Structure 1
Amino acid sequence: MSKNFADLCYACRVGDTDNVDRLISTGVNLNAVDQFDNSPLFLASLCGHETVVKLLLSRGAVCDRDRYEGARCIYGALTDSIRDILLRYDISKAVDVNQPFTMHISSLIKDDFFLDTCDLSWSFHDNIRAIECLQLHKFILASRCAQLNLGLMSNWTGRHNFELPKGCSMKEMKILVKFIYLLPVLHEIDYEQYSSLIALSREWGMELLAEFLNKAQHILDPSEKSMFMATFQYKFMELAREQLCTFVNDAILKSSIILNSHEELDQGQNIILKECLAFPDVLLMVKNLKDEQRVFPCHLAILSRAHYFKLMFTLPFLERTLYKSQKKSKDSGNSSPLPLISLPSCDFEVAVIIIRYLYYDSSEIPWYNAIDVLLMADMLMEDRLKSMAAVVLTQSKELLKCCSIFDILSVAWETRMERLEHFVAKVIAQKIRKYSNDPALKEAILQSSKRISARQETDTIELVDDIRFYLLEKYAFELEDIEVLSSEQDLGLLKSSGILEYQQDMSVIENILDALSLQA
């Protein structure tokens, strides 16, 4: 059992939704089982975490009531609400793997917004005219299909429009295109199409699709076929992530250009990037703290996963005007420079993490980059990446050796990450007497009090409330225990219960509030 899968099982048991989402993005098999034959879905159902159950189902977890594992989930569900969700869930939905990465790639040929980002068209003709035209992206075809990549780099160089041979089946070609763009298409294939699709997928080098088709044509039972589709849909998604990872490494990162501090990208360098293996339509520039600049050949279709970039190219900003101009020039057969957009200053490693996340949903964030990634994700308005970075910070054993807990609190407030605020409060509660001598704790409590928009004479202070909560957790007390134990007269029982230590820790907070003339 891999560490990521073990961590996923634990996150499902405790109901850590953000961590479940992050771990799903590492590519773990949601329908695998641990050493006790428990699937993540079973653990989440058994422990009563409805939000996690919904997330797992939406990401492709299978609950087939006709099979042992599905029946276990339903009958083991802690609440009627979870049981109803599982009973309503149709196994066919698991064929449509709703990973955010998968959904975005699929949207590139479903969403009208991305029509402007297409740079290749395939036309189907009858004897007189074109009867249908597919608008596609060279970089998707190049990354997903080795044979198409060879064509784009050789015979098709510089071309943007193709007429497919008249003998070519439009329906079967559209199925292959849907497969390339990760649309759920397996259930659309008719029995009589299997043979020709197997031959075509092998001709294009799509061996995994050929393997599925070769086996699926012999499965007659609908339930068994649905399970088989779900298994292969997961494999298809992981293959696509691997292919886009290779594409990022070989076509984007290796093609990037590093410039000196005040050097500008000249026309020759722009052309080199424009004609590189990535088939880019936009350039992303990043300046690091050493004042060096790195330019990455990228794609608006992918950068638009971040709301910041989507707004940039939707609203009438200069970048949108330049992009439209370049697109119009390309369509007319002329050549114009690629538009250049910039990220705020950061280490190149942080920019690469952002690119990897946008292209193939990579959640690999080293702890020493996590704060910078969190800040950058906040600027890009990419909440999911923010959550992933926050999870990494809360799980790092090295973080507090080189970073003040109060600096982390400032970042949490700046980025509005409640998970990180709770992490800080828990760390402070665990070592409250150590932090009581640090002036930064008083300043943090004061700052927290100022964050209340309309303060009453007596009000709660969020940081103080959180510390008090984690002090209760530290000593395993419930609120109703405190009054009972505090009235106890037996000194031995007071010491053994931990109530005296709890009261001493609480007095630290009270003393700070008194010193700051705050009531909370």
Structure 2
Amino acid sequence: YLVEHKEVELNIRDRWDSTPLYYACLCGHLEIAQYLLDNGARCEANTFDGERCRYGALNDTIRTLLKNYNVLTARTVKRNTYDEFLRKLYEQGLYSDVTFVVDERIFPLHRCVLAARSSFFHEAFEGRWHGKRNINLTKAKFNVDSFESVVRYLYTNCCEISLDNIDTVKALARSCRLPHLIDLIERKKHEIDQWQASKTASSNIYRLVLEPDEDDDSIRLDFRMLAEQAIPLELRQWIAGSEMPFIDQPHLDTFSDLIFIVDECYYFHVHQAFICTRTEYFSALIKNHFNEMLPNTKQQNDTKSTVMLKHIHKEHFIPLLYYIYSDECEISNDCVDDLLVIADELFLPGLKRLCGNTYSKLLSNETIISILRLARLFQLVKLENQCIRFISDNLEEVLQQDEFKKFVLEDAASVVDRQETDTVPIIDDLRFYLAEFSTVNRSDIDETLEKMKLLDDFLDNIGVNA
């Protein structure tokens, strides 16, 4: 329920820096440990978390589970979709526009990502590396593993570092002007040193696994800036916390490689690495599957492809753009209906959930049934549960609505070969909520019984036996 319906982050830490997986191992809950691992709990071998879980495990069965578990194959795409996108963007190098060579290893990367995350790279791409597509770092003072760690951090806010390589990575991070990465390394190393000092037996930790702090939104803010730069000057918005609007910084649009024309007059300079990797719809569109490509014009850079978007208006495309780049966006009540349809067409379940969050704030006696229908139509489980809770809390008023009566009758008719004693889905959900979440004390039990009777009387009145 917590993981699949409430979407609680299962790698969350308490004040003792302990995760749910650690407690499951400590208490010997094998099935829970297996479930957490299958759904993305982190427990890599030879890391702080991995060794701590192994050391604290109640029995050998759980230690064997941890030892045999392959974290790389068990990460789920369903959850942490944005993190998965960033990881694939780095590892697969799709739509790369610059290649680095370090110790004969080739890194297909993206100028927009590196420049957005590091002022060093931004200045270098506009200066000494301007126009270069292949950059050979043969005389570098760092090794390939250090470069890989820093670049992975720039893409994902996460990385692994060998303990033997810490000083080299810190030096490279200092050159790339990444003070936050240096701080993360030092804090994680201090944690490991303290933990090792408290144990009598030797540990097998030889890697640091760096993850962002729970409140660290730096990568989303950096990529949100990329989205802001993609928007035409006349449409750019202020960013919360900025002293100046980006409208005063038109030169920041340096590394876009695609132009979308919206409403026939607004030119959005976007990046294929984000647009085409986040949704298959735009990837197919760019490949000319829908014959919407336009020839380049003198108004645009000759190296950029131009695409006319005919069915998405600017008021919907702007929040869509913010979501694609940063996994977050503000959705107004006026555009949520159209944006939900667009999110469904573009196969963006995360954007659909954000639309669901907007609808949840609009719940009232007047809107509850229409929003419940939307939640079911677009398979928004969390929103549907919120609707059930609202109806349960306002049962007497909702039962008087003709729309609710119609909804229940439709629900009853939807059950194939329904018998008189069969239940009705909406009634089932209401009874479940009332039984599970409203029986805390005696007064709640009395209230629940009254509401159960209201439901039974309502079903009798409309002629449904459930």
Q: TM-score, normalised by structure 2?
A: 0.69
Match of 1:33 among 15, 18, 25: 15
Equivalent residue, structure 2, for 1:436: 399
Using the alignment, how far apart are the partners of 1:39 and 1:212 within structure 2?
Answer: 19
Distance 2:112 2:125 in 1: 9
Q: Number of matched residues?
A: 423
State the partner residue of 1:181. Answer: 155
Query: Where does 1:18-167 land on structure 2 (aligned, <5 Å)?
Result: 18-21=5-8, 30-33=12-15, 55=39, 57-58=41-42, 66=52, 71=56, 88-89=65-66, 99-111=80-92, 114-115=93-94, 117-123=95-101, 133-166=106-139
2:88 alignment partner AA: S
Residues 180, 391 of structure 1: CA spacing in aligned structure 2 closer, same or farther, 3 A cutoff? same
Q: How far does residue 140 in structure 1 lie from its aligned partner after superposition?
A: 1.1
Match of 2:242 in 1: none
1:508 aligns with 2:458: yes
The aligned amino acid for 1:19 is K
Deviation at 1:15, TM superposition (A): 2.3
Indicate the residue corresponding to 1:302 in structure 2: 274
CA contact (8 A) 2:322 2:328 kept: yes
Closer, same or farther: CA 157–88 of 1 in aligned 2, 3 Å: same
Decide which moves more: 334-343 or 151-160: 334-343
Q: Is the 8 A contact 2:230 2:270 kept in 1?
A: no
State the TM-score, normalizing by the size of structure 1. Answer: 0.63
Structure with the higher fraction of residues in helix conformation? 1
Matches within 5 A, 1:279-298: 279-284=255-260, 295-298=267-270
| 8 Å CA contact retained: 1:464, 1:509 | no
Cα distance in 1, alignment partners of residues 461 and 163 from structure 2: 75
Which of the numbers 163, 174, 183 marks the counterpart of 1:202? 174
Please state whether the residue corresponding to 2:41 is helix, strand or coil: helix
What fraction of aligned residue pairs are identical, expressed as a percent? Answer: 18
After superposition, the Cα gap between the structure-2 partners of 1:152 and 1:258, relative to the gap in structure 1 and judged at 3 Å, is: closer
- CA deviation map 1:260-316 (0-9, x unaligned): 9xxxxxxxxxxxx998525112234556xxxx9754332222222234334545783
Give the Å deviation of 1:407.
1.4
- Distance of aligned partners of 1:175 and 1:276 in 2 relative to their CA distance in 1, 3 Å threshold: same
Unaligned runs of 5+ in 2: 197-201, 236-248
Distance in 2, matches of 1:501 and 1:107, equals: 50
- The answer for unaligned runs of 5 or more in structure 1 is 1-13, 126-130, 261-272, 327-333, 478-494
Alpha carbons 1:32, 1:39 under 8 Å: kept: yes
- Alpha-carbon distance change, 434 to 195 in structure 1, aligned in 2, over 3 angstroms: closer
Which residue of 2 is the match for residue 264 of structure 1? none
The farther-off stretch of 99-108 and 437-446 is: 99-108
Measured against aligned partners, the alpha-carbon deviations of 1:70-103 in whole angstroms (never above 9, x if no partner) come to 84xx66xxxx9xx966873369969x99843333
| Structure 1 residues 332-376: Cα deviation after superposition (integer angstroms, max 9, x where no partner) | xx824433253854673x644443333233377678876665444
Instruction: Report Cα offsets for 1:438-461 as digits up to 9, x if no partner.
Output: 111122223334544x44454543
- Residue matched to 1:426: 389
Deviations 1:2-56 (A, max 9, x none): xxxxxxxxxxxx62534334x68xxxx822338xx97555788989977567546
Summarize the Cα distance change of 1:86–1:340 in structure 2 as closer, same or farther, 3 Å threshold.
farther
Aligned 8 A contact 2:43 2:71 in 1: no
Quick one: structure 1 residues 40 and 335, their matched pair in 2 at CA, closer, same or farther if it must change by over 3 Å? same
SS of aligned partner of 1:229: strand
Distance in 2 separating the partners of 1:213 and 1:475: 47
Paired amino acid for 2:231: S
